[in-house]
């Protein structure tokens, strides 16, 4: 019994000692982390102004590997030719001066929040227009130092970047917006940027853009040479495709409807002047307002865009419908004037005939010479009759389709104006359908051709 109690007492004290040693080890581990930081970053031990050495401690350029995580793309502005993006930017390089003992794998890395404590690459975004860091709740930045001297710098930033656009195919276009990163002061002899191996650019899933779709992105290098040397540069090309459904509903279909509404005047009577004038002027002003609204959301470029061709032709059709009524009104008044002149002429002839008959009735003693019933062969009147008979005996000419179709409208008052309306009812829709065929085949084919390059 005594031996057993003695054993349990020894076991109890051993457990207490092991727990105490574990607690002391934990405390000593944090203390060791502080000592490591003081050891590698202490005064007189590390100078952040001096760049790291090259690979394997050589005098070559420092290698910095870059990778990005695109969190969101807020806006893509056509009129300003820019886009806004929020991303997590990461740099990784090796600084052998920052090597430390990892305490048998217990100390995986050291974390810093002050970037000025270590050397940092002088990277900048060359096509940046605006940008800011995120400081809510704390600054979204950290630096990790690994035991082998590797340094990882990560920060969350929002940028507004310039994106030169070619709007010749707008709104059937694709745009390439770039993100360029370069060294500001260090040349390629001292600093080289490389993309991280594997997957250097990641994009958040379910990325939503109101009018664009991100089709793909490509990474590349864009080193630049100046009078002061060659500088390392990286770039990411983001290929955006414009969503056409929005423009189909908001622009193309309303313009087609306005053009078709302007054709309603062809079916109205030529005497309904107020109705046809108000219809033509209203559609013309609406089309002009639609065109000005479209141009207000686009930059004033020097070339012709696809939307300019569409709105210009639609405006021409609406204006042509208004001019057609002016022609119809002129033809109607001209026909009315001719009819009035013919009526007056018939009235005058009838009056002269009536006067002659009255004169014959009053002259009862007048004698009339009887014309001979038989004409001599040389009689000119007989020759004229024979000539008319020969004309009537000639073979009929081949009928003309257009004249036959137009002959269905008898010669009466306003017949020419009616013919103009009927011709317009057929001609305007056919020409507009032909324009649509040429327009869509041309620009859709050019879009596919640009996609292949």
pLDDT digits (tens, 9 = 90+) for 377-430: 555 555 455 455 454 445 555 656 656 655 555 444 446 778 888 888 999 999
325 sits in which H/E element: helix 306-362
Query: What integer is the mean pLDDT of 113-132?
Result: 90
Report the C-alpha gap between 453 and 450 in whole angstroms.
Answer: 6
CB of 88 closer than 8 Å to CB of 68: yes
Q: What percent of the chain has pLDDT over 90?
A: 46
Measured between its terminal Cα atoms, the distance across the chain in Å is: 92
Report the C-alpha gap between 433 and 318 in whole angstroms.
Answer: 15
Helices (H), 377-414: 380-393, 401-406
Report the C-alpha gap between 370 and 259 in whole angstroms.
Answer: 71
Can you point out the beta strands (E) in 39-173? 62-77, 82-94, 110-112, 123-125, 128-133, 141-145, 150-162
Q: List CB contacts of 82: < 8 A, sequence separation 6 or more.
A: 76, 129, 160, 161, 162, 163
Report the candidate in 70, 62, 74, 178 with the shortest Cα–Cα distance to residue 123.
62
Looking at residue 313, what is its pLDDT? 95
Looking at residue 453, what is its pLDDT? 40
Looking at residue 12, what is its pLDDT? 57
Looking at residue 369, what is its pLDDT? 47
Of residues 252 and 330, the one with the higher pLDDT is 252
| Confidence at 79, pLDDT banded by 50, 70, 90 | very high
Query: What integer is the mean pLDDT of 316-345?
Result: 80
195 sits in which H/E element: strand 191-195
Looking at residue 270, what is its pLDDT? 76
> Which of 64-78, 115-129, 130-144, 355-369 has the weakest average pLDDT?
355-369
* pLDDT tens, residue by residue, 214-249: 999 999 999 999 898 999 999 999 999 999 999 999
What distance lies between CA 431 and its chain's CA centroid?
27
Of residues 445 and 11, the one with the higher pLDDT is 445
> Which of 75-79, 100-104, 409-413 has the weakest average pLDDT?
409-413
pTM: 0.72
* pLDDT tens, residue by residue, 339-353: 667 776 776 777 677
pLDDT at 2 over 90: no
pLDDT at 166 over 70: yes
Residues forming beta bridges with residue 154, ordered by sequence position: 90, 142
235 sits in which H/E element: strand 233-242
User: What is the β-pairing status of strands 212-221 and 233-242?
Assistant: antiparallel
CB of 438 closer than 8 Å to CB of 432: no
Nearest 5°: phi and psi at 413? -65, 135
Report the C-alpha gap between 131 and 296 in whole angstroms.
Answer: 27
Looking at residue 39, what is its pLDDT? 83
Report the C-alpha gap between 301 and 313 in whole angstroms.
Answer: 19
Report the candidate in 153, 138, 45 with the shortest Cα–Cα distance to residue 99.
45
């Amino acid at each position: 019994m005594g031996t057993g109690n003695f054993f349990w007492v020894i076991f109890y004290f051993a457990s207490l000692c092991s727990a105490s040693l574990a607690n002391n080890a934990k405390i000593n581990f944090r203390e060791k982390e502080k000592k490591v930081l003081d050891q590698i970053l202490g005064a007189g031990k590390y100078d952040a102004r001096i760049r790291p050495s090259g690979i394997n401690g050589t005098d070559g350029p420092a290698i910095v590997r870059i990778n990005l995580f695109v969190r969101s793309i807020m806006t893509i502005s056509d009129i300003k030719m820019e886009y806004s993006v929020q991303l997590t930017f990461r740099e990784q390089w090796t600084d052998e001066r920052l090597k430390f003992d990892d305490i048998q794998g217990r100390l995986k890395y050291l974390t810093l929040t002050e970037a000025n404590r270590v050397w940092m690459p002088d990277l900048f975004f060359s096509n940046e227009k605006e940008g800011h860091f995120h400081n809510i709740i704390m600054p979204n930045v950290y630096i990790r130092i690994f035991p082998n001297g590797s340094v990882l710098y990560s920060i969350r930033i929002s940028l507004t970047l310039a994106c030169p656009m070619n709007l010749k195919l707008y709104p059937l276009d694709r745009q390439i917006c770039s993100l360029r990163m370069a060294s500001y002061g260090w040349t390629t002899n001292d600093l080289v940027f490389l993309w991280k191996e594997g997957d250097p650019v990641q994009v958040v899933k379910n990325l939503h853009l109101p009018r664009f779709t991100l089709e793909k992105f490509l990474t590349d290098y864009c080193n630049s040479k100046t009078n002061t040397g060659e500088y390392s540069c990286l770039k990411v090309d983001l290929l955006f495709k414009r969503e056409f459904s929005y423009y189909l509903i908001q622009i193309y279909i309303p313009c087609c409807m306005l053009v078709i509404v302007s054709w309603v005047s062809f079916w109205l009577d030529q005497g309904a002047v107020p109705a046809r004038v108000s219809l033509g002027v209203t559609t013309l002003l609406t089309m002009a307002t639609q065109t000005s609204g479209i141009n207000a959301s686009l930059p004033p470029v020097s070339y012709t865009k696809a939307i300019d061709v569409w709105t210009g032709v639609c405006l021409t059709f609406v204006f042509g419908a208004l001019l057609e009524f002016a022609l119809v009104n002129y033809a109607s008044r001209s026909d009315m004037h001719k009819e009035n002149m013919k009526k007056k002429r018939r009235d005058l002839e009838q009056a002269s005939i009536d006067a002659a008959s009255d004169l014959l009735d009053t002259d009862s003693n007048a004698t009339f010479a009887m014309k001979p019933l038989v004409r001599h062969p040389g009689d000119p009147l007989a020759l004229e009759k024979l000539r008319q008979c020969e004309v009537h005996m000639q073979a009929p000419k081949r009928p003309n389709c257009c004249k036959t179709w137009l002959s269905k409208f008898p010669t009466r008052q306003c017949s020419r104006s009616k013919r103009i309306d009927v011709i317009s009812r057929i001609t305007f829709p056919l020409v507009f359908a032909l324009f649509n065929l040429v327009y869509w085949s041309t620009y859709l084919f050019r879009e596919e051709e640009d996609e292949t390059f």
